[in-house]
Amino acid sequence: MLSCLRAALADQRLVQSFSGVRTVFGLEPAISNELTALAVAYAWCYAHEVPAPGEAVLVIGRDPRPTGEALSRALAHGFLAGAKARGARLRVIDLGIITTPLAQTAVRALNAAGGVIVTASHNPLEHNGFKFLTGTACPTCVSEAAGETSAASAGRGESGAIRAPAGALLSAFEMESVIARVRDLAAGRDADLFDKTVSAVDSRHLEEALRGHDNDSPRVTAERAYLDEIGSDWGITPHCLKPLTLGPALLDPNGGAGSGVDARVLEHFGVRTIEINAELGFPEHGIDTDGIDPASGRHMLLRVARAAARHGARFGVAFDYDADRGNLVLPGSNESAIIPPQRVAAFNLAFALARRRLMGRTTRPLAVVLSDATSLASARVAEAFGAEVFLVETGEINVVTKMSGLRAEGYDVPVGIEGANGGTVFGTSTCRDGLQVALAAALAESQVDVALEWMKVASRAAVVRPDIGGQSEQVLRSPQPTQGLNLEDLLRSIPVNPNMMLRLSAPQVSHGEVKRRVEEEFTRTVWPKLAGRFEAYDFENYEGTERVPERTGDESGAWRVMLRAPGRRAFIFLRGSRTEAGVWRMIVDCDDASDFAVVSPLAQAMFAAASRAGYGDD
């Protein structure tokens, strides 16, 4: 099996990062020996750290991809073998097809030691992968307790600063540790123990572990806990007979894990739903809805907007395959009905903070967490409410870990935003959740007091208001309680920055070298042209949950330069692909449209100059 593991690790399509493991598995139910070995080895290294005393519980959930069941069985095999290597008793709960938010809730509800969600999220159907979850007694924290991989030795401070909350993905540091163990295993470390314990788990043991007990009751327990957690965060009591006074909302799960269950959950909160494309495992269009449909040349979400108009829905939400992302649209017949992800993020942020202010639950200092690729418009919204803004490296787990850490320090952190796709982490959730995007939109039109609270502070967040088509907006007048609130108008009240995201190419040199060149080029040629518009600039690097002078680990993380002037800011963001050599993503975001017109072409010219062959020879 180790030879198959080495072959899998050598595949250039394999992605291993703090967000999980992913590669091309195919469209048939069976998976190759190499990919089976990969899954078994990863699960073995993860579960090898399960606490030995008593019986530990690990959960497995998956989205409906064709290879999901075979991949789940391989991971279960590795779990059982890893626990056997440690002399631990293990119960594996197979949750079946389930959304990522619900699977993460299951870890907490079942007091599990961890688990895994099998998904490739928004990637094509032939891709698959897995993401390990932090337990209520985190498996990977056991070695820290034994002094093997302490936070201090990694230069990360106290272990509490790096550990993710229960149910979340493993923290970046902990997942890096699992990746390193797999690499060591492939090199021969613990090879005999691995072979012995993997061989000891035969098909009969595996079947008994997966099917020899009740898996349905734990899932019901998880669904009830999910309802209760959302209800507590939003101040709403869920009930199966709640009058359906909100919506209607059109949901497009596209045959993914959200099919059926997300509509059912929303109805417990009074949202009337209309589902389309909800046959489990049979997607009707591309998995990634935030892009162009190659067949029509139109945006993928246009079909959702048109369906919302046909069915008389107030809005539509399209989910990815594990339902942790939800793209919001208005009913309409053209692309103007598609709401840019950064506007949705700022909308979620504005209404979450307005709702929190009205609840008056706490006197703790208010904070929000944003990834370093998030538009400055979200920062302005947060600052308008007096919230302190904390920035982290791009990656959902970095946002979640920082939110949890700030709460432990005494902050009130009602919401976080993850990156350019506008993913929102609501309340005490430990991941993005497309269902809660739908709930936020449904509640916005009905909660007049929340809208009014936002309008009180909206002018403080206004710098520039380009609408979806690029024309400037006027600040929305405060709606009167006697007037019906319109989601389209509420969305237009949200500030949105001129923002550009580009895919660029650079020489196949180290990411650190590209960043060094970019900094040199910015200082030499760009800043002299911007010094008349801005007062200062800072080069910024974020690693995990903290800003650092320079990255100490994986140099492929993002770099950005922040530009500052009185009352406005701008940034240029760069991040190299971990999987495609020479491919970079650039984001330019400015509070002011006139700044954007100048900064955007300069940023592109800067990268082009830094990327040219023979840079530095002249």
| 428 domain residue, yes or no | yes
Cα–chain-centroid distance for residue 285? 22
CA distances from 479 to 370, 482, 485, 527 (A): 29, 8, 7, 44
Could you tell me which residues come within 8 angstroms of residue 536 by beta carbon, excluding any fewer than 6 positions away? 563, 564
pLDDT of residue 612: 83
Give percent of the chain with pLDDT exceeding 90. 70
* pTM (whole model) above 0.85: yes
State whether 486 and 512 are in the same domain: no
Cβ-based burial of 408 (10 A; exposed 0-12, middle 13-18, buried ≥19): exposed
pLDDT single digits (tens) 375-397: 999 999 999 999 999 999 888 99
**Is residue 80 scored above 90 in pLDDT?**
yes
Query: 463 or 114, which is more confident?
Result: 114
| 229 domain residue, yes or no | no
Write the DSSP assignment of 21-64 as a string of letters: EEEE--SSSS--HHHHHHHHHHHHHHHTTS-SSSEEEEEEEE-S
Give percent of the chain with pLDDT exceeding 70. 89
**What is the pLDDT confidence band of residue 467, given thresholds at 50, 70 and 90?**
very low
Letter string b/e over residues 476-503, b meaning 16 or more CB atoms within 10 A of that residue's CB: beebeeeeebebeebbbbbbbbbbeeee
State whether 188 and 241 are in the same domain: no
pLDDT of residue 481: 47
State whether 485 and 594 are in the same domain: no
β-strands 15-17, 20-24: how paired?
A: antiparallel
Backbone φ, ψ for residue 596 (5° rounding)? -60, -40
Residue 295: CB atoms within 10 Å: 8
State whether 421 and 529 are in the same domain: no
Element (H, E) at 117: strand 114-118
Q: Which of 433, 461, 492 is the last residue of a domain?
A: 492
State whether 170 and 266 are in the same domain: no
pLDDT of residue 613: 64
| 221 domain residue, yes or no | no
**Is residue 323 scored above 50 in pLDDT?**
yes
Check if the beta carbon of residue 245 is closer than 8 Å to that of residue 446.
yes
State whether 161 and 253 are in the same domain: no
| 55 domain residue, yes or no | yes
CA distances from 253 to 97, 223, 250, 279, 287 (A): 13, 18, 10, 9, 10
Distance CA 455, CA 490 (A): 9
Q: What CATH number does the domain containing 309 carry?
A: 3.40.120.10
Q: Which of 56, 103, 63 is nearest to 429 (CA)?
A: 103
Check if the beta carbon of residue 36 is closer than 8 Å to that of residue 4.
yes
pLDDT of residue 429: 95
pLDDT of residue 579: 67
State whether 60 and 189 are in the same domain: yes
pLDDT single digits (tens) 122-153: 899 999 999 999 998 654 443 333 333 333 33
Element (H, E) at 398: helix 396-408
State whether 599 and 506 are in the same domain: yes
Please name the amino acid found at residue 232: S
State whether 418 and 301 are in the same domain: no
Residue 239: CB atoms within 10 Å: 13
Check if the beta carbon of residue 167 is closer than 8 Å to that of residue 133.
yes
User: Torsion angle, CA of 202/206/212/214, rounded to 10 degrees?
Assistant: 170
pLDDT of residue 542: 83
**What is the pLDDT confidence band of residue 513, given thresholds at 50, 70 and 90?**
confident
Q: Residue 553 is part of which domain span?
A: 499-611
Radius of gyration of the chain (CA): 24
Tell me if the bond preceding 248 is cis, omega within 30° of 0.
yes
Write the DSSP assignment of 148-210 as a string of letters: SS-TTTTT--SGGGTPPPTTSBPPHHHHHHHHHHHHHHHTTTTHHHHHHHHHT--HHHHHHHH
Distance CA 231, CA 225 (A): 10
| 227 domain residue, yes or no | no
Residues pairing with 569 in the sheet: 564
Please name the amino acid found at residue 50: V
Q: Which of 307, 334, 361 is the last residue of a domain?
A: 334
**What is the pLDDT confidence band of residue 53, given thresholds at 50, 70 and 90?**
low
Please name the amino acid found at residue 91: R
Q: How many structural domains comprise the chain? A: 4
Place of tokens 């594996």: 92
pLDDT single digits (tens) 216-228: 999 999 999 999 9
Q: What CATH number does the domain containing 566 carry?
A: 3.30.310
State whether 73 and 187 are in the same domain: yes
Distance CA 419, CA 503 (A): 16
Lowest mean pLDDT among 68-77, 325-334, 556-565: 556-565
CA distances from 451 to 16, 379, 442 (A): 42, 19, 13
| 220 domain residue, yes or no | no
**Is residue 469 scored above 80 in pLDDT?**
no
Letter string b/e over residues 58-95, b meaning 16 or more CB atoms within 10 A of that residue's CB: bbbbbbbbbbbbbbbbbbbbbbbbbbbbbebebbbbbb
> What average pLDDT score do residues 101-109 get?
97
| 223 domain residue, yes or no | no
**What is the pLDDT confidence band of residue 212, given thresholds at 50, 70 and 90?**
confident
